[in-house]
Each structure stands twice: as C-alpha cells, then as structure tokens.
Amino acid sequence: MHIPDGFLDPVWIAITYAITIGYGIIAAKKAKKLWTPERAALLSVLAAGIFAAQMLNWPIPGGTSLHFVGGALAGILLGPWLGYFVLVLVLVTQCLIFHDGGITTLGANILNMGIVDVVVGYLVFKAVIRAMGNTRKARLIGAFLAGWLGITLAGIVCGIEIGLSPSFPYGVAITVPVMGTWHAILGVIEGIITAIVVDYIYTKAPHMVISLKTPVEVVSRAA
Amino acid sequence: MQRESIWQRHRKALITIIILVIISPIFGVILANMVGYHEPLDVAAEKLGLHEWEFTWTPFTDYTVPGLPDTIGYIICGFIGVGVILGIGTILYRAAAAKTERGGAA
C-alpha cells in the first residue's frame, strides 16, 4: 500500500499532506495529555515491532505479497492520537532511509495507514467492546474486525487518491474496486494477527491497551 | 531512583523484534525471488509508464546494502530501521521521564 512517487499529481500531494499535517497537529495536542514515559517506551517499541513485521513480506505466486500493516493494532493499543505517531515513525523511516513509499506521497501513505487504519481500527474495537462487554471473546472479535476493516478502508482510500489523481491513467471506477477487494482479502490475515497480538498483550499487560480504559483513566495515568 | 531503560521495560518484545529481523530475508528476499515478487504499485507504475522520481540520499534503496548479498543487506537494513526508531524512542522516553521527575520534584 506504499504509494511510490509519480502516482499523485501536485493537487493531491497538497491535499493529502494538508490532511496529514492537520491531523498531526491535533494529535500532538491531544497526545500531550496522554504522554508518560511508559507510553513513550511502548510507542517506540510498537513502532519498531511494526517496522520489523512489515519486512516479513509473504510472497504470493503471481508476483504480489501481503504483509502486516499494524495501523489498527496501534490504534487499539495506544488510541487514535499516539497510534498515529507510531505509524508516522514507521512510515517516515521507511520512506527517508529505504525509499519505500515516495516522499511526495508520504502524506497520502500516512493518511492511509497512519490515520484511516489507526482511527477505524480504534473505533471498531471500541464499538465491539461497548456492544459485547470487555470479554475475551469481544476482544478477539473486536480486534479481528478492527484489523480487517481498518486495512480494507485504508486500501479503498488509497484507491480513491490514485484514482482521482490525473497522474494515474485509471479512474476510481477501477482503482477503488481493485484496491478495496484486494485489501479486504488480505485484511483477513491482518485481522487474525491483530486479534492474536491484542489478546496476548491484554493477557500479559492489560494496562497497555489504552482503548479499553475510560477517558478519565487514560488521562489520570498521564497526570 | 534508577530509571528503567526501554530494553529493561520491554525485553521480550525487543528479543522478538530481533528474531523477526533475522528471519525476515526468508520472506522478503528468498521466497520473494522464488515467486518473482515486486511491489504491486511499482509493477503498476512500470506497466503504465509512470516515472518514479529518484531521490537517493541513502544507499539503502529497497532494503539493500551496496556490495552485500541481498539477504545480509536485508537484515542489516532491518537493524538500521529498528535502531533509528528505537533511538528516537529513547530520546522521547528520556524526555518524558525527565519531565515526570521534574513534575514529581516540584
């Protein structure tokens, strides 16, 4: 899903950078209230883990591959504000050091994987927990759906960006179904991995799953 | 009071990350070469004649290290990436801990 340079025209480059920077400013203000040494450590270890996990491309005969993206996992563990910075750390490192994803498309790549995937993952997980209660079954179902829907919608938004950009010769009528369908299929694996990791972390260290805390608990730990 | 390091706080997770990086070439290089894998959006760009703008300010394009076999280069790139992220994380962690200590002492 890392869009290379050349796919987006200047207007879409500007739009996606503007949304990403705007969200980042809000996220930085919100994150101040949540900031603790414990969460700073968790943020960087999670970012390092997602970076390493993304290097494990599982090639599929035919010339494509799947790999874990981790946006929903970051949203579930650290919430939509700190989770954004986890993916920013991963995507900026990949782009600036390894040329994985374009510099002109970095705004779009952060928008897709660092905002859409993170926020959708967080909201879906919260909704399932609210509906089913904080049980193991609910956490597994919630994390699976969060991982699956997060990556599927991120793929659809990616399809919209490249489909609407005049630089790309195919329109949204083609790019959205292709990206959406493909990521809905790959999203099953993303969902399974997200569910397993959330379940494991909740079992070992439940305090690390911020999205299961009440807003008062989240802020009071940082105070 | 002695402050815990990130390593002490998250030792198991960091060991898992080291293992992931060491085994990563099995997936990212060896199996990828077996099935002729290329990044799907890069393939699309090539077929459509879209030109990628090349900004090569580091020599680690596509997780390779010049002069080294792809598998070894992939592992080294993995450690470079993890190292950069944890380096930034350590700065953030120390800054947050120092702020907390100042707040506690105030």
Structure confidence at residue A215 (pLDDT): 61
A143 within 8 A of A198, measured Cβ to Cβ? yes
CB contact under 8 A, B40 and A64: yes
B26-48: pLDDT as tens digits = 988 888 777 766 666 666 776 76
Q: At B1, list the tokens.
A: 């009071």
> Long-range pairs for B39-42 at CB < 8 Å and ≥24 separation?
B39/A2, B39/A4, B40/A63, B40/A64, B40/A65, B41/A1, B41/A2, B41/A3, B41/A4, B41/A7, B42/A4
CB contact under 8 A, B53 and A6: yes
Cα angle: B42, vertex A100, A64; to 5 degrees? 40
Taking contacts as CB-CB distances below 8 angstroms, the residues of chain A near B41 are 1-4, 7
CB contact under 8 A, A44 and B78: no
CA distance B94 to B5: 9
Could you write out the DSSP letters of every residue in A8-43? S-HHHHHHHHHHHHHHHHHHHHHHHHH--HHHHHHH
Q: What is the mean pLDDT of chain A?
A: 91
Structure confidence at residue A62 (pLDDT): 55
Task: Please tell me which residue of chain B has the smallest CA distance to A33.
Answer: B96
Q: Residue A222: which of B91, B103, B57, B30 has the closest Cα?
A: B103
Structure confidence at residue A220 (pLDDT): 60
Letter for the amino acid at A1? M
| Structural domain of A82 | 10-222
A4 within 8 A of A105, measured Cβ to Cβ? yes
Task: Please tell me which residue of chain A has the smallest CA distance to B104.
Answer: A223
Could you write out the DSSP letters of every residue in A155-207? HHHHHHHHHHSTTSSS-HHHHHHHHHHHHHHHHHHHHHHHHHHHHHHHHH-GG
Q: Where are the domains of chain B?
A: 6-45+65-105
Taking contacts as CB-CB distances below 8 angstroms, the residues of chain B near A64 are 37, 40
A182-223: pLDDT as tens digits = 899 989 999 999 999 999 999 998 988 988 876 666 666 554
A193 within 8 A of A40, measured Cβ to Cβ? no
A161-190: pLDDT as tens digits = 999 988 788 888 988 998 899 899 989 999
Of B48, B50, B89, the CB nearest to A44: B89
Q: A141 in helix, strand or coil?
A: helix
Indicate the DSSP class of residue B24.
Answer: H
CATH at A153: 1.10.1760.20
- Look at residue A1 and tell me if it is in a domain: no
CB contact under 8 A, B45 and A6: yes
The backbone region for B36, taken as left when phi is positive above 0, alpha when psi lies in -120 to 50, beta otherwise, is left
Q: What is the number of domains present in chain A? A: 1
Taking contacts as CB-CB distances below 8 angstroms, the residues of chain A near B37 are 57, 59-60, 63-65
Residue A58 bridge partners (DSSP): A66
Q: At B71, list the tokens.
A: 């598998």
**Per-residue pLDDT band at B8 (split at 50, 70, 90):** confident
- Say if residue A32's pLDDT is above 80: yes
CB contact under 8 A, A99 and B21: no
Percent of chain B with pLDDT over 90: 48
- Say if residue B49's pLDDT is above 90: no
B98 within 8 A of B88, measured Cβ to Cβ? no
Of B13, B34, B42, the CB nearest to A4: B42
Neighbours of A10 (CB within 10 A): 11
Place of tokens 């799947």: A66
- Look at residue A86 and tell me if it is in a domain: yes
A52-105: pLDDT as tens digits = 999 988 766 555 567 889 999 999 999 999 999 999 999 999 999 998 988 999
- Say if residue A14's pLDDT is above 90: yes
Taking contacts as CB-CB distances below 8 angstroms, the residues of chain B near A203 are none
CB contact under 8 A, B41 and A51: no
CB contact under 8 A, A41 and B10: yes
**pLDDT mean over B78-82:** 97
Taking contacts as CB-CB distances below 8 angstroms, the residues of chain A near B92 are 40, 43-44
| Crossing angle between the packed helical segments B70-105 and A71-98, to the nearest 10 degrees | 120
Of A49, A55, A62, the CB nearest to B13: A49
